[in-house]
A and B are shown apart, each in its own frame.
Chain A
């Protein structure tokens, strides 16, 4: 069975600094997707970034980038130039490729951004 592990329940970062959130996963599949979702206090689940397993290049979205290590089954999220609005719960999630596949979630990392 696939699992997702986030080993950092809480993290903090100074505004304008860089922080990296860790995620590891376990799967026997070769084709899958990995996601980072942000959940602010409003509780809505917002997609931050997505990585397709077949792509070697790490995904980037503005200040957000990932370090995808397929062999090590590691998928960390780097937030550069952190802003106060980045404070939220961050969830790592895995999904097998193909239609109608469920997301498997990590426990989340609560990120605080200090002014």
Chain B
């Protein structure tokens, strides 16, 4: 069964360093997302991406964050200068266009997450 894969599973970095988290969405999916979950807190939406551009982003997704789909398969999240408060689990998700064109099944498929620890 196809699945969303994420690398690395865990990354430890020093404050101020750049981090790139990678995701390979399910191959026929068209919509991609990043969410994060700070330990013990709720899951937060970061950004959605479609047709090679950002569709929506949250207040968390400031200028330190960027996403791209460099090669048609990978979907990356870059944090330019990490802060302590960026320590979290980062989840990539994808979904496909619905058969009707405007509707889909609603389900997002999640990767196993990348745990980022900023020291």
Chain A interface residues toward B at CB < 8 A: 33, 35, 37, 42-47, 50, 52, 91, 93, 95, 97-100, 102-108
Whether, in the assembled complex, B97 has its beta carbon less than 8 Å from a beta carbon of chain A, the answer is yes
Number of B residues with CB within 8 Å of any CB on chain A: 32
Q: Which of B95-118 contact A (CB under 8 A)?
A: 95, 97-98, 102-113, 115
Asked if A99 and B31 sit within 8 Å, CB to CB, the answer is: yes
Question: Closest approach, in angstroms, between the C-beta of A64 and any C-beta of chain B?
Answer: 15
* B87 at the binding interface (Cβ < 8 Å): no
B34 to chain A, nearest CB (A): 10
Contact B42 A98 (CB under 8 A): no
* Residue of chain A at shortest CB distance from B58: A102
B: which residues have CB within 8 A of A?
30-31, 33, 35, 41-45, 48, 50, 55-56, 89, 91, 93, 95, 97-98, 102-113, 115
B97–A102 touching, CB < 8 Å: no
Q: How many angstroms from the CA of A50 to the CA of B89 in the assembled complex?
A: 24
Q: Which of B43, B97, B112, B115 contacts A105 (CB 8 A)?
A: B43
Q: Are B102 and A91 in contact, with the CB atoms below 8 A? A: no
Q: Given the interface contacts A43-B89, A97-B103, A98-B103, does A103 sit within 8 Å of B115 by beta carbon? A: no
